[in-house]
Amino acid sequence: MRYINKKLTIEKLSVDRIAKKYGTPAYCYSFSQFRKNILNFKKSFNSFSPLICFSIKSNSNINLIKEIKKFGFGADVVSMGELMVALKAGIHPRKIVFSGVGKTSDEINYAINKNILLINAESQSEIKEIERIAKLRNKQVQIGIRLNPNTDAKTLKQISTGKKENKFGVNEETFLDLVKKYKRSKNVILKCLSVHIGSQILDHKPYEKMLKVIYKIIKKANFNFEFIDLGGGMGIQYENNHNKLDYKKYNNSIIRFLKKYNSKIIFEPGRSIIGNTASLISKVTYIKEEKTKKFIVLDAAMNDLIRPALYGAYHKILPGLKKNKRSNKIYEFVGPICESTDKFSSIKNFQELVEKDLVVLQDVGAYGMSLSSNYNLRLKPIELLIKNTKIKVIRKRQTYKDLF
Ligand code: LLP
C-alpha cells in the first residue's frame, strides 16, 4: 500500500474508489503481496522441498485457497468444515493434515473416507478412537502424534501452544509410550511427529530449541518417522519496530536436523502467507468529542476484526486521504458494538479526520475474516481480491436474508 497523489492505494486502485464501488467495511487482499509471500516462503526452505500446508483457520476463503493450491500448497485443517473447504478448493487429499484436540467420531470418519495424508492425533483417547473406526471399516489410517515439546514460543500467552500447561499435544513420556503402543498397529499407521509451539513468533530461537527437543525424543523413541510436521507460527511485522523472523537461521537449523534425521518436513503456515496481504477499509460514521480525546466511531467493529479486543493486538490505521493537519487530541478508534472492548486503538497526533473520511486497518489477512462473527446481528463484510487494476469479489457482503 502506498500514497499516490495523497490517496492510499492498494496495488493500482485507490481505497476511495474501492469504497465507492463496494461500500465499507471491506476486506481487500493484494494479490501481488500474496504471491510474493508464497514464493518467499517456498524459497526460504527450498533445499529440502517441504510439504507446505496452508493453515485454513487463518483464512478460509475458498477463492484464496484455490489460488494457494496453484502454488502446490496443501492444507492444515482443524474441523470438518475446513477439511471440506480445502477439498472443494481442489487441494489433493494426500496434501492435507488434520490437527486439533477434539476431533469427533464424525470428523474422523469423514477424514478416513477422504483418505487424507495424516490425522495428527493429540491424545491417547483420540488414537484409540481412530483405531476403533479404522478397524471397523477395515482401513489403514496414517497418523501423526502431536508432541507438546514444552517450549516457550515467546509470543502472546493467548496464542502460545507448546508449553506443558497448554492443552495441545502429549508430553514426552506419553509420546514415547504411544509410539511403543502403536508402532505395530494394523489399522493405525504411525507416520509423523507433529508440533506447533505457537503463533506470531518473531525469534528463531524457540524453533531451534523445539528442534533440539524433537531430536532428543525421536532418538529415545527409536522409530523412523516418515514426516516431521513443524507446524506454523512464523510471525509478521504488525509494528515497524517488530523484529523480523530470521528464516535463514530457522532453515539452517532444520538442515542440521535433517542431516541427523532424514525425514520429510511439513509446515503449516497461516499468518506468514496471508497476514500482511489484506486491509480493512472502514468509514468514519461519527466523531464524538470529549475533553481529552475524540472517539472516532467507525463502521467496522470487533465482529469484523476481533484481534484487538481479544488479544490487545495492534493493527496500524492509515487515513484514506492524506492531509497535513494533525489532531492535538488523542483519537480513539472504536466500533459501534455495545462492548467497551470494541476498540481498535488510541493514537496521538493522527491527522485531522472528519465524518465520512475513510481509514484503513492494516495487516488483517490472517485471523481477520476467519474470526469474524454476526455479533449484534451485524452483517459480515465483503472480501475483495485486488490484482493490479482489477477487483474480484471473493465473498459477497452478507445480506439480512442470509441471517434470517
Ligand atoms: N498449525 C496449528 C496446529 C495451529 O494451531 C496453528 C494456529 C497454525 C498451524 C497456524 O499458525 P500461524 O502460522 O498462522 O501462526 N487467532 C490468533 C492466532 C491463533 C493461532 C492458532 N493456531 C491471532 O489472531 O493471532
Q: What percent of the chain has pLDDT over 90?
A: 94
**Rounded distance, CA 184 to CA 353, Å?**
67
Residue 344 in contact with residue 267, Cβ under 8 Å? no
pLDDT of 155 above 80: no
Q: Are residues 69 and 163 in the same domain?
A: yes
CATH of the domain at 333: 2.40.37.10
User: How confident is residue 400, by pLDDT bands cut at 50, 70 and 90?
Assistant: very high
Q: Are residues 9 and 127 in the same domain?
A: no
Query: Any bridge partners for residue 286, and if so which?
Result: 297
CATH of the domain at 178: 3.20.20.10
Its pTM stands at 0.97
Whether the CB of 76 sits within 6 Å of ligand 1: yes
Q: Are residues 265 and 281 in the same domain?
A: no
Q: Are residues 96 and 129 in the same domain?
A: yes
Q: Are residues 334 and 266 in the same domain?
A: no
Which residue shows C-alpha cell 528442534?
211
Q: Are residues 17 and 63 in the same domain?
A: no
**Rounded distance, CA 4 to CA 67, Å?**
28
Question: pLDDT value at position 166?
Answer: 82
SS (H, E, C) 164-195: CCCCCCECHHHHHHHHHHHCCCCCEEEEEEEC
Q: Are residues 175 and 308 in the same domain?
A: no
Q: Are residues 72 and 55 in the same domain?
A: yes
How many Å lie between the centroid of ligand 1 and the Cα of residue 231? 9
> Which is catalytic among the residues 28, 53, 192, 338?
338
Last residue of a domain, one of 218, 244, 272: 272
Q: Which atom of ligand 1 is nearest to the CA of 313?
A: 25
Q: Are residues 292 and 334 in the same domain?
A: yes
Last residue of a domain, one of 272, 295, 313: 272
- The DSSP letter of residue 72 is T
**Rounded distance, CA 75 to CA 52, Å?**
8
Residue 119's nearest CA partner among 147, 143, 102, 91 is: 143
pLDDT tens digits, one per residue of 120-135: 999 999 999 999 999 9
Q: Residue with the nearest Cα to atom 4 of ligand 1?
A: 196
Question: pLDDT value at position 159?
Answer: 67
Which residue shows C-alpha cell 472443494?
88
pLDDT of 244 above 70: yes
Q: How many domains does the chain have?
A: 2
Pick from 41, 55, 154 the residue to mutate for probing ligand 1's pocket: most ligand atoms within 8 Å of its CB: 55
Q: Residue with the nearest Cα to atom 23 of ligand 1?
A: 367
As a whole number, the mean pLDDT across the chain is 96
Pick from 58, 158, 239 the residue to mutate for probing ligand 1's pocket: most ligand atoms within 8 Å of its CB: 58
Angle between helices 31-44 and 247-260 (to 10 degrees): 40
Q: Are residues 10 and 146 in the same domain?
A: no
Whether the CB of 58 sits within 6 Å of ligand 1: yes
Question: pLDDT value at position 162?
Answer: 73
Burial of 88 (0-12, 13-18, 19+ CB in 10 A): exposed
Q: How many residues does the chain have?
A: 404
Q: Are residues 243 and 167 in the same domain?
A: yes
Last residue of a domain, one of 272, 306, 323: 272
User: How confident is residue 211, by pLDDT bands cut at 50, 70 and 90?
Assistant: very high
Pick from 268, 280, 372 the residue to mutate for probing ligand 1's pocket: most ligand atoms within 8 Å of its CB: 268
Residue 247 has a CB neighbour count (10 Å cut-off) of 16
Catalytic residue status for 338? yes
User: How confident is residue 241, by pLDDT bands cut at 50, 70 and 90?
Assistant: confident
Q: Are residues 13 and 41 in the same domain?
A: no
Region 183-196: what's the mean pLDDT? 97
CB within 8 Å of 22: residues ≥ 6 apart: 382, 384, 391, 393, 397
Looking at residue 320, its amino acid is G
Whether the CB of 308 sits within 6 Å of ligand 1: no
Residue 112 in contact with residue 91, Cβ under 8 Å? no
pLDDT of 81 above 90: yes
pLDDT tens digits, one per residue of 252-295: 999 999 999 999 999 999 999 999 999 999 999 999 999 999 99
3-state class of 120 per DSSP? strand
Domain limits for position 376: 2-29+275-403
Region 79-103: what's the mean pLDDT? 97
